[in-house]
């Protein structure tokens, strides 16, 4: 009997040793970072810059996998069903983790139960821009035009449930105007239509439109953040332009499937903190109007839990839908 117990104990210690070795070796192959929007958009730009630095910290390449569709739900479901081994990561955002659960009645993933947060990585406001052929130069003039012509003005978004969608829906509700929502599969095709005047305006990321803003191909009327952006000091906040209390500040971060070993999450968190603190990356992001940041897994989890009911109330009050 003692011999049997001794053999079982040795087996147990061997298994623990192998497990610890596996965790210590992580990562020992490339890691897939799933981006819930097509190439060329703000999320893609942020993901690619971060992936370089994160890969350097982890000693393995980070491979970008763009999976646009359904406001990020397609990518989120994919990651939720992936092996919980730390080799598939979702570049999550406010839409995928806090808005979609209220916007999509048949959502096939649970943002709380199906994911383990790693760290926040980026904070970014939206910029209210109009096509040059829209005869307004201020938010007050835009509201007046929209009230005079109900349903005439259209605003494009990066997709149903995206922060650009909710930004527009919230603006319409608070301003008391009726606007047509036109969802796109990411920001890249939206840019083309905004420049061509096929859609009147958007609430999108500065990083995607930087060159067009500088060249005057689009007109900036305001920003969705509570304070003015350093890269657009002349652009007023929407709140200070008459819609007191208006604020949308998109956040992004890394999450992995639930069940991912704590040691792997810890390794990813430590590497993410170092990557986001890199001076070169920080400078690049700040010049694009994006705030690099980081957090503990617990802090990110608390943010998600707080944001879900907040945006549920906004979705309900604005009447936003996934159509």
Q: What is the pLDDT of residue 21?
A: 47
Residue at which a domain ends, from 241, 260, 277: 241
β-strand partners of 255: 90, 117
Tell whether 104 is covered by a domain: yes
Q: How many domains does the chain contain in total?
A: 2
Q: CATH no. for residue 219?
A: 3.40.190.10
Do both 115 and 10 map to the same domain? yes
Q: What is the pLDDT of residue 159?
A: 86
β-strand partners of 35: 66
Do both 71 and 166 map to the same domain? no
Do both 99 and 40 map to the same domain? yes
Q: What is the pLDDT of residue 4?
A: 47
Do both 115 and 264 map to the same domain? yes
- Which parts of the chain have pLDDT scores under 50? 2, 4-5, 9, 11-22
Do both 181 and 226 map to the same domain? yes
pLDDT tens digits, one per residue of 105-143: 999 999 999 999 999 999 999 999 999 999 999 999 999
Residue at which a domain ends, from 207, 241, 275: 241
Q: What is the 3-state secondary structure (H, E, C) of 169-224?
A: HHHHHHHCCCCEEEECCCHHHHHHHHHHCCCCEEEECHHHHHHHHHHCCCEEEEEC
Q: What is the pLDDT of residue 24?
A: 64
Residue at which a domain ends, from 186, 220, 241: 241
Q: What is the pLDDT of residue 186?
A: 84
Tell whether 1 is covered by a domain: no
Q: CATH no. for residue 112?
A: 3.40.190.150
Whole-Å CA distances, 175 to 95, 149, 298: 23, 14, 36
Q: Which domain does 167 fall in, by range?
A: 127-241
pLDDT tens digits, one per residue of 149-177: 999 999 999 888 888 999 999 999 999 99
Q: What is the pLDDT of residue 1?
A: 52
Tell whether 217 is covered by a domain: yes
Tell whether 210 is covered by a domain: yes
pTM for this predicted structure: 0.85
């Amino acid at each position: 009997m003692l011999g049997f117990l001794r053999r079982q104990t040795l087996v147990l210690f061997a298994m623990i040793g192998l497990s610890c070795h596996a965790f210590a070796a992580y990562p020992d192959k490339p890691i897939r970072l799933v981006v819930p929007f097509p190439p060329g958009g703000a999320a893609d730009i942020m993901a690619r810059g971060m992936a370089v630095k994160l890969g350097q910290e982890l000693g393995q390449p980070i491979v970008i996998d763009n999976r646009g569709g359904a406001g990020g739900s397609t990518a989120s479901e994919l990651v939720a069903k992936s092996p919980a081994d730390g080799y598939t990561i979702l570049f999550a955002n406010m839409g995928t983790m806090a808005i979609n659960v209220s916007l999509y009645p048949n959502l096939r993933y649970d943002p709380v139960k199906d994911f383990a947060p790693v760290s926040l990585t980026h904070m970014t406001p939206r910029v209210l821009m109009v096509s040059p052929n829209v005869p307004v130069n201020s938010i007050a003039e835009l509201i007046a035009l929209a009230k005079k012509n109900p349903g005439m003005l259209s605003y494009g978004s990066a997709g149903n449930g995206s922060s650009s969608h909710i930004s527009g829906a919230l603006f319409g509700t608070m301003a008391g105007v009726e606007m047509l929502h036109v969802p796109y599969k990411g920001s890249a095709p939206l840019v083309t239509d905004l420049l061509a005047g096929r859609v009147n305006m958007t609430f999108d990321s500065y990083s995607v439109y930087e060159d067009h803003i500088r060249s005057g191909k689009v007109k900036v009327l305001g920003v969705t953040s509570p304070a003015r952006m350093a890269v657009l000091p002349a652009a007023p906040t929407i709140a200070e332009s008459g819609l007191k209390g208006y604020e949308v500040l998109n956040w992004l971060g890394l999450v992995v499937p639930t069940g991912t070993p704590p040691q792997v999450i810890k390794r990813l968190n430590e590497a993410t903190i170092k990557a986001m603190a890199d001076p070169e990356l920080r400078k690049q992001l700040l010049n694009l109007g994006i705030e690099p940041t980081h957090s503990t897994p617990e802090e990110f989890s608390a943010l998600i839990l707080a944001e879900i009911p907040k945006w549920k109330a906004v979705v309900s009050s604005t009447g936003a839908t996934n159509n």
